[in-house]
Amino acid sequence: MLCRHGLVPSRANKTAKTHYLPAAYWETLEELSFRTRDPQGKRIPQERLVAEALNPLFTKYNTIIRLSVTA
């Protein structure tokens, strides 16, 4: 089911970015996502792992994450 912007609901209010990193970074992220589970036993998506990894970076540089929520 698509939302009004033509995206699946899980992608609503999100943007995609491309980053060029060594293959080892992507391979490690894929493996971490495959091996890591949340409390309900579900695999943790790469997107969530990257967001979690960015939080300490933002904290280090005293940056506030500004989330815009639309109704």
Give the angle subtended at the CA of 34 by the CAs of 6 and 41, to the nearest 5°.
Answer: 90
- Number of compact structural domains in the chain: 1
70: in domain:
no
Residue 34 in tokens = 């495959």
What residue type is 3 in one-letter code?
C
9: in domain:
no
Residue pLDDT, tens place only, 9-65: 888 888 888 889 999 999 999 999 999 999 999 999 999 999 889 888 988 999 877
Task: For the full predicted model, state whether its pTM sits above 0.85.
Answer: no
| Secondary structure (DSSP) of 26-51 | HHHHHHHHHH-B-TTSPBPPHHHHHH
pLDDT at 44: 93
Return the higher-pLDDT residue of 4 and 40. Answer: 40
6: in domain:
no
Domain that holds residue 29: 20-60
55: in domain:
yes
